[in-house]
Chain A
Amino acid sequence: QKEVEQNSGPLSVPEGAIASLNCTYSDRVSQSFFWYRQYSGKSPELIMSIYSNGDKEDGRFTAQLNKASQYVSLLIRDSQPSDSATYLCAVTKYTGRRALTFGSGTRLQVQP
């Protein structure tokens, strides 16, 4: 079982719709959770971090964390064609090296 699981997609949504991206993780000691956006051929760009249960909103983005279910999600409201990218879920643990463990990413396509 992979430590971080994501549906590879593609997830296709129309412009203006809400895109919902999901991620599950297997290690209960995971403490920090991140969503990165990666355009083709580019490096990952951090768009959201979340550390405690509940919702965290930043502009059009909302991250949701449920540690009991080991589940983290990202909602993108009013999706734009420029949001078309691969979204990477990543986790770290407070113990040890604190390196990121990534999921394989979900490709999002926003149709104009």
Chain B
Amino acid sequence: EADIYQTPRYLVIGTGKKITLECSQTMGHDKMYWYQQDPGMELHLIHYSYGVNSTEKGDLSSESTVSRIRTEHFPLTLESARPSHTSQYLCASTESSEVRDEQFFGPGTRLTVL
């Protein structure tokens, strides 16, 4: 079973607030990812990281930013939340060797911006 944690699980916040979504994993995985999923829709990659001090933007344009200062921690920040940011945010990680590539997901954060 994957040990990947996300907090908060649910967040309701007003427009203009700064928020940070936390993601931590205890498996020592080098690669970590953030996906965004609207209800009933596909998951889309918004950020990824190969390791410490390595972050890249994904396929779906996002106003969020991420950092990777420690292997186990990959937080996502929105400087000024807007209603268009309302969505579910899913963090994932993988060891990603040449023969195995499985990604494991955290429980997700459901964000609502009023």
Contacts and interface: CB of A to CB of B under 8 A. Distances in A.
A6 to B, nearest CB: 10
Q: Interface range on chain A: under 10, 10 to 19, 20 to 34, or 35 or more?
A: 20 to 34
Interface residues of chain A: helix, strand, loop or mixed (majority): loop
Nearest to A44: B105
Interface string B68-109: 000000000000000000000010101010111111111110
B57 to A, nearest CB: 10
B48 A46 contact: no
A32 B97 CA distance: 11
A92 interface: yes
Interface string A14-42: 00000000000000000110101000011
Interface of A: 31-32, 34, 36, 41-46, 49, 51, 88, 92, 94, 97-105
